[in-house]
Amino acid sequence: MTTTATDRRTFPGLSPTAFEHPIDRGALDALRRTPGLDILLKKLSSLGFERVVRLQLTADSLRLSPKQLGRIHGLMMEGCEVLDMKPPELYLYQSPIVDAQALGMDRFTIGLSSGLIDLLNEDQLRWAIARELGHIKSGHMLYRTMAKYLAVVGLISMRNLPIVNLLSQALLYAFYDWLRKSELTADRAASLVAQDSTVGVSALLKLAGGTVKEADPLNVEEFLKQADDYEDMDESLLNVLYKFEMTKFRTHPFPAMRAREVMRWHDSGAYRQILQGNYARMNDHTGVRNCSECGASVENASFRYCPECGRPVGE
């Protein structure tokens, strides 16, 4: 049965280490060690894309609030209460493409497409918004915003710019590898908000092939079986090469794979421990530090690099 707002558990002082996927942490550390990343970050930051995006959202979309589509804004506020975090700004923009994204380094913003609102029911929409909150909570925003910068400029149009010399294949592969793995952490954060194993999986099923008009119920078991079938194809070396080509510049893992990870998380002892109130808290970590370069507070005890400026954080 779907959890209601009145009985949904909250997690005061929740640390992102409580739900961080281990492969997310490893991939992010590998990305931060990639040569040239700090120079690329400085260059992109100086171009002011974050201001451009905020101007675009303010001028050409709806800023949601209790007075503007308050039901949707309320779903975000529920997620913030569960994850114990400050609410970002929330915008709704007109697009048939089903999409949600978190942006910003100085000020955090979540954007939702009208296609997402039309496709998902209320519980699934809460889950989708909570995913973006999970990115913010986990300190992903520096590198995720960098990804949006690159998408706005376009790698093809950047070929005539000196900055392209920094975009080595190793950097790009490391960058997209982390982006995909960071989504698994965001899915876990959304699971903590939904507190119902069927919500995230049903949302992912719709994202893979759901329609607004199709009334027949979608089969979760058949969808999860696709993840097993996909992995079974690794027996062929040619298939492995095809998979690499298919995924190397994807920002998200395939939906069926994510759905299986969501189910595994729900069935894990770690998830149940959090629901029972046994989880890592911010004040549990005596290692909460301030970056010596930019002064930002680095609350995630597992981070060896500042999520705001990308520089190593002194112990």
* Residues classed as catalytic: 132
With residue 214 as reference, give the H or E element that holds it.
none
Query: Residue 262 contacts by C-beta under 8 Å, 6 or more apart in sequence?
Result: 187, 188, 191, 197, 200, 201, 204
CA distance linking residue 129 with residue 80, whole number of Å: 10
Contacts of 29 (CB under 8 A, 6+ apart): 304, 305
At residue 309, φ and ψ (nearest 5 deg) are: -120, -10
Handedness of CA 11, 17, 19, 20 (dihedral sign): positive
Backbone angles phi, psi at 82, to 5 degrees: -65, -45
**Structural tokens at position 88:** 């970002």
